[in-house]
Structure 1
Amino acid sequence: MRFRSMLALSALAAGFVVVLSGAPAYAATLPTGARSLESVNYPGRFVRHLDSLGRVDAVTSASTAQVKQDATFTVVNGLASPSCYSFQTKSGLFLRHRDYRLRIDANTGDAVFRADATFCAVDGSTAGSVSLTSYNYPSRRIRHRDFALWLDAYQDTAAFRADSSFRITAPWAPKTTAGPVIPGLFADPHLAYFGGRYYLYPTTDGYAGWSGTYYKAFSSADLVNWTDHGVILDHGPDVSWADNSAWAPAVAAKNGRYYLYFSGGAASGNTAKQLGVAVADSPAGPFRDALGRPLVTSGQFSGGQAIDPMVFTDDDGRSYLYWGQGVARVVPLNSDMISYDAAQVRTITPSGYNEAPFVFKRNGTYYLMWSENDTRSEDYRVAYATGTSPLGPWTKRGIVLQKRLDAGIRGPGHHSVVQLPGTDTWHIAYHRFAVPAGNGTNRETAIDRMEFNADGTIRPVVPTL
């Protein structure tokens, strides 16, 4: 077991660690991604699920593939708190407590499930080990009792501390696919390139009714290894007019600053969605609400829903704001990036449009892309049109991205596109139903290459795992 312990220390040193800035001072952090958890006082026994119930059982190199898979979890962003963690199985279920017994279940997205499936890390009984406290019962920790996993009240004894301590090791069943690009449930990804790095801004997913409240930022030099910059804007403390429905962020750079456009709603009162804008001095945030009020209010323009903002800046430096579900709209932004002339708003809804407009320019041609059908449908997909200006007119060209059932990929959509500066290399970021057990509120983020034909049309993207 010494070899696996050394792997654990390497994983902790090099792993993808959640940033805890401004969060409660939990003593330990965990590397995200595929990991296994070894009992401190029973080396060679690992946390696993058996018939849905959590246990610590012996796992060796001679164990079956199924046992190794059952002893492997993906450590992800906490379903109830970004300062804590959730543990996802290879089958897409989550470790949670029910009546203080640890088991695995499908994420229903309601507040009770998310809290039951979230655990916060504190230092364990030995160096390099961790204990996992319950998010909603912070005086209770995961511990093994007769090798079964329970959520028990903390006891200040050496035996309890050992029973509730685990070493994070390399996974028994290593990841075999490239996606998702960031572990956990994230949707509506906006991919951008600033200062030599890629930045990814997704919706935090896994909430019933898409009721998440905060945004995170991730960055990478190679689209493979990602740094988690933590929460960059939280509707609760940071936005006076919205406290939920933190959807579809998009970031644009101008004037030496970074502007985050986002959708938000209120849990009570005016529940209709509105658009906001926040500003920061760094693409990694933190962002602050630039106006203290919506940039686009609900009902300000007849028809459609005010969600899914996106900003395109043309070669002449003029920036345009696009948005809308049901109806697609565009307006030139003023140079301050936080105001516009409402009289200049234009409707540009193409045939088949539902939501998520995205505009870019290549070789003098403007491309308008969008998502068709409903995000809860496996037939959610991306289509596009071309035009001669940021305002159109637009000629629909066809479907770019759609489901691939032979690979288990459903509902790919709500995308963004980025060009590596100085090249004709393009990538498309999008969400899909989490593989294998996802749905329209349990989605994950993927990135693939996007290529063009000689006539400038976009080749259909084959989504990959």
Structure 2
Amino acid sequence: MRIAVVLALCVTAAGVAVVVGGGPAAAATVPTGAVSLESVNYPGRYVRHLDSLGRIDPVTTASTAQTKADATFTVVNGLASPGCYSFQTKGGLFLRHRDFRLRTDANTGDATFRADATFCAADGSVAGSVSFVSYNYPSRRIRHRDFALWLDPIQSVADSSFRVTAAWAPKTNRNPVIPGLFADPQIASFGGRYYLYPTTDGYAGWAGTYYKAFSSTDLVTWTDHGVILDLAPDVSWADNSAWAPSVANRNGQYYLYFSGGLATGNTAKQLGVAVSAAPTGPFRDALGRPLVAAGQFAGGQVIDPAVFTDDDGRSYLYWGQGVARVVPLNGDMISYDPAQVRTITPAGYNEAPFVFKRNGTYYFMWSENDTRSEDYRVAYATGPSPVGPWTNRGVVLSKSGSVRGTGHHSVVRAPGTDVWYIAYHRFAVPAGNGTNRETAIDRMQFNADGTIVPVVPTL
């Protein structure tokens, strides 16, 4: 039996209100993850792509595996708006409109493509159904016409209404752990719950502006908590390049360290810090200015913050592309003594520093090569203190099979155990690249001498 998912017809943090054809505001939410979309007025026909073109066709249990895959989409974070949705095919392409015809294409990351591939959910013609409104043409909805999918002005409500059902080709792989394009994940554990803070990906030039938070109790099922900081409205000195966040907990507060730049004019990146009473935000800019300014220290790009808190309660801020730096943070977590900044750049270092401690040994990890390279990878060193000196231990995570571009990671220990996990990004499988990346998590294990067993990335 095919079971439809009933949609809540109200505005929520994950939903969006839309006004179509002069009618009243309507809103719906759609579950993220793998789904299929059944036509309301042609039951048994499902949205699918055939030779790249969108249409509705019959799909049954007797249909071929390819037909079932073509009728399966992963609902993801809207490429143009986190309050709306985009639809990714099993082959990694996105459903978009071109000259008002629905088709599937690779995400180019430019503003036009992102808008063409983003749809806001509204209530459909019958209870439990949904209609999809174009993000950039809000008077038009996805509609089937002679079984082909078009973006049309609303005529027959039934022709533009769909039931969200269980996927004909459900997700079977462990990774990615969150649907959609996200990179540079920081994973953390607060109060017995895991949290992921990634870069929102899929933008040409990595020009995303906002951060989201996800949480889980088991590292498998994740709750999307929505946008926790948006540079454009929330930060006075940056409106672009929201990259590689890191969150730390102290003084009953949560501190979000982030990269930001300006879309025009001075494009140099800087580090900021925002604060919240909860790990899921919302966060507010704590300083009204950068924590680490561009050019404040000679050499390297000011990106990729990471915070490590030692057993004595002292926290250290690491950052840098091209040059790795570290400084102890003051107790307020939003200031430091510039005279204490140290350079700790190891051989092979490019970016994404990360430090943790196990059994009295400090582990300093980083990413090598360019994030656009399929050979992007993670290496590490060990040392006796949070600032070294460091002994290089080699590469611990690299490409394997169809999994490429593995890097910009973070590590978390399961509370009360010696079980460790590594979160990282990779090129989205199968159609990803250096700006279309997804987040994965795998076990990280240790040899008897404390060295890390090389991690084999899993699908």
Calculate the TM-score normalised by the size of structure 2: 0.97
Count of residues paired in the alignment: 451
Tell me whether 1:146 sits opposite 2:146 in the alignment: yes
Pairing 1:167–2:181 present: no
1:21–1:230 contact (8 Å) kept in structure 2: no
Q: Is the 8 A contact 2:213 2:228 kept in 1?
A: yes
Change (3 A) 1:66 1:21: closer
Match of 2:418, as an amino acid?
A: D
Amino-acid identity (%) = 82
Q: Partners in 2 of 1:91 and 1:218 — Cα distance?
A: 25
Residue 219 of structure 2 is matched in structure 1 by 223
Question: How far apart, CA to CA, are the structure 2 residues paired with 1:317 and 1:295?
Answer: 21
Equivalent residue for 1:374? 370
CA contact (8 A) 1:107 1:206 kept: yes
Question: Which residue of structure 2 aligns with residue 83 of structure 1?
Answer: 83
Tell me how far 1:21 sits from its aligned partner: 7.6
Is residue 31 of structure 1 aligned with residue 31 of structure 2? yes
What is the CA–CA distance in structure 2 between the aligned matches of 1:93 and 1:316, rounded to whole Å? 48
Is 2:271 the partner of 1:271? no
Q: 1:182 to 1:23 in 2, by over 3 A?
A: farther
Unaligned runs of 5+ in 1: none
1:399 aligned to 2:421?
Answer: no
1:346 is aligned to 342
| 1:40 match | 40
Whole-angstrom distance in 2 between the partners of 1:375 and 1:335: 34
CA distance in 2, matches of 1:278, 1:293: 11
CA distance in 1, matches of 2:412, 2:301: 26
Aligned with residue 409 of structure 2, among 407, 410, 415: 415
Match of 1:452 among 441, 446, 450: 446
Query: How far is the alpha carbon of 1:149 from its aligned partner?
Result: 0.3
| Secondary structure of the corresponding residue to residue 32 of structure 2 | strand
The answer as to 2:69 corresponding to 1:69 is: yes
Q: What CA distance in whole angstroms lies between the structure 2 residues aligned with 1:20 and 1:440?
A: 27
Superposed displacement of residue 23, structure 1: 7.4
The equivalent of 2:313 in structure 1 is 317
Structure 1 position 8, deviation (Å): 1.9
Aligned to 1:130: 130
In 1, the alpha carbon distance for the partners of 2:361 and 2:12 equals 40
Residue 443 (structure 1) aligned with residue 405 (structure 2): no
Shift of residue 154, structure 1, vs aligned partner? 1.9
Question: What's the secondary structure of 1:31's corresponding residue?
Answer: coil
CA distance in 2, matches of 1:9, 1:319: 45
Residue pairs, 1:191-202, within 5 angstroms: 191-202=187-198
Which 4+ residue blocks in structure 1 deviate beyond 3 angstroms?
Answer: 21-26
Using a 3 Å threshold, how does the CA distance of structure 1 residues 294 and 182 change in structure 2: closer, same or farther?
same
CA–CA distance in 2 between the matches of 1:354 and 1:88?
Answer: 31
Q: In proportion to residue count, which structure has more helix? A: 1
Q: What SS class does the counterpart of residue 163 from structure 1 fall into?
A: helix
After TM superposition, give the deviation of residue 20 of structure 1 in Å.
Answer: 2.7
Residues 219-276 of structure 1, C-alpha deviation per residue, up to 9 Å, x if partnerless? 0000001100000000010011000100000000000100000000101121100000
Q: Is the 8 A contact 1:186 1:203 kept in 2?
A: yes
CA distance in structure 1 between the aligned counterparts of 2:173 and 2:14, rounded to whole angstroms? 28
Indicate conservation of the 8 Å contact 1:18/1:229, yes or no: no
Alignment of 1:285-304 (within 5 A): 285-304=281-300
Residues 18 and 31 of structure 1 are in contact (CA less than 8 Å); yes or no, is this contact kept in structure 2?
A: no
Report how far residue 9 of structure 1 moved: 2.9
Cα distance, 1:172–1:133 mapped onto 2, change above 3 Å: same
Structure 2: distance between partners of 1:162 and 1:169? 17
Q: How far is 1:26 from its partner?
A: 5.2
- Distance change >3 Å, CA 26–CA 311, structure 1 → 2: farther
Is it true that 1:282 corresponds to 2:291 in the alignment? no
Q: Say if 1:26 and 1:120, in contact at 8 Å, map to a contact too.
A: no
Check whether the contact 2:15–2:84 (CA below 8 A) recurs between aligned residues.
no
1:250 aligns with 2:250: no
CA distance in 2 between counterparts of 1:82 and 1:152 reads 23
Q: 1:111-150 deviations in whole A, cap 9, x for unaligned? A: 0000000000000000000000000000100000000000
Aligned equivalents of 2:138, 2:449: Cα separation in 1: 60
C-alpha distance in 2 between matches for 1:21 and 1:234? 17
Task: Please give the alpha-carbon distance, in whole angstroms, between the structure 1 residues aligned to 2:12 and 2:201.
Answer: 17
Q: Can you list the C-alpha shifts for 1:344-369, whole angstroms capped at 9, x where unaligned? A: 10000000000000000000000000
Separation in 2 of the partners of 1:101 and 1:421?
A: 51
Say whether the 8 Å CA contact 1:313–1:319 is kept in structure 2: yes
Q: Normalising by the residue count of structure 1, what TM-score does the alignment of the two structures yield?
A: 0.95
1:18 shift after superposition = 8.3
Q: How does 1:349-368 map to 2 (within 5 A)?
A: 349-368=345-364
Partner of 1:112: helix, strand, or coil?
A: helix
Q: 1-side partners of 2:12 and 2:354: how far apart?
A: 29
Residue pairs, 1:95-134, within 5 angstroms: 95-134=95-134
Separation of aligned partners in 2, 1:144 and 1:418: 47
1:155-214 deviation line (CA, Å, top 9, x unaligned): 3xxxx1000000000011111211100000000000000011000000000000000000
What is the rounded CA distance, in whole Å, between the counterparts of 2:143 and 2:57 in structure 1? 13
Question: Take 1:433 and 1:8, find their aligned partners in 2: how far apart are those partners?
Answer: 32
